[in-house]
Amino acid sequence: MRSVSVCITTYNRKELLANAIKSIINQTYKDLEIIIVDDSSNDGTKELIQNEILKWDNRITYIRNKTNKGLASSRNIALSNSEGKYFTFMDDDDEWHEEFIEEFVEMAKKYDEQWCFCCGTETIDYLGRKIYSIPNFEDSLKKYIKAGYTPPVSAQFYHTKNLHEVGGYTPEIKTGIDHDLWLKLSYKGKNLKSLNKSLSKPNVDIKRNRITTNYKHRITNLEYTMNIWKPNIIKHYGKEFYTEFCNAYFLREKSKGLKNSLLTGNFKTFISIYRDISDFVSKKEVLKIFILYLMKKIHIKNKTVIHKQFKPSLIINSF
């Protein structure tokens, strides 16, 4: 039995998966198992894993879904096949600093099973700026959900028992998967402690074909998710919070869609979204996005390093 179970789900990301796996193998903490769940990829991922990746490390277990089940179900499959006392996830296009797991294990030893854990992130933005986002939390998870904090999946660390206690992820949910888990953990009165270091390196490339950047698909799925969440959010947080939560969540997603559509040159989508949220987005903010777009077009890069202490302000916010 290993101390830490690491889940990595993948679907048609053969060109990025290898780097993610190497990031796990190269961890300074060695007492771990690596569970790869392939959600029925058809791009050669199966062959890459079977012919190469499985030879890299005997701690790797490969599970392939016969049909595409979705992200939530795939993570649940990893959870049900895990043996570790602790559990953590990585997306197939993300990476970690080599001391990620070791730092979390040392911290988790000091806290009981009422606690969940997270760390900061290191990202490269559209202009090449390196941004370190550093949280500083130690309180109830419910408090931070109200404040608007949810880290990327690759910045989370759990007592495995907690994930089993809430039944893992809700398979029907396609958008808001990480929020779903955190909401369910908050209903159980769990707490959150942050590791105040930027040890996770999530991929924030908006040009990639992924659900988080497919605007129309995401908004449709989010409407479905909100209906699933509604009864329990109202029960545990109140009707007023649910309304504010919905409004803030949709505004955040539409604002992200506005920025991403302009930065990728999709002006038709940009105009459509802007008409929808023009009352909530200042012309100054739109101008900033347009300047970023122009800087990208003429290949201006900015190597500035930014250290950003996370301060919750809105109901829905993120790194």
What tokens were used for 236?
């545990």
Q: Are residues 191 and 48 in the same domain?
A: yes
Q: Are residues 189 and 85 in the same domain?
A: yes
Q: Are residues 153 and 87 in the same domain?
A: yes
Q: Are residues 97 and 246 in the same domain?
A: no
Q: Are residues 232 and 187 in the same domain?
A: no
pLDDT one-digit tens code per residue, 68-127? 999 999 999 999 999 999 999 999 999 999 999 999 999 999 999 999 999 999 988 766
Would you say the C-alpha torsion 249, 254, 257, 258 has a positive or negative sign?
Answer: negative
Q: How confident is the model at residue 204 (pLDDT cuts 50, 70, 90)?
A: low
Q: What pLDDT does residue 117 have? A: 96
Residue tagged 């290191």 (tokens): 122
| 65 located within any domain | yes
User: Would the pTM of this model clear 0.95, i.e. be above it?
Assistant: no
Pairing verdict, β 305-309 and 130-134? parallel
Pairing verdict, β 60-64 and 115-124? unpaired
Q: Are residues 221 and 158 in the same domain?
A: no
Q: Are residues 237 and 194 in the same domain?
A: no
| 312 located within any domain | no
| 261 located within any domain | yes
Structural domain total, the chain: 2
| 133 located within any domain | yes
| 72 located within any domain | yes
Give the structural domain span for 175.
4-201
pLDDT one-digit tens code per residue, 16-47? 999 999 999 999 999 999 999 999 999 999 99
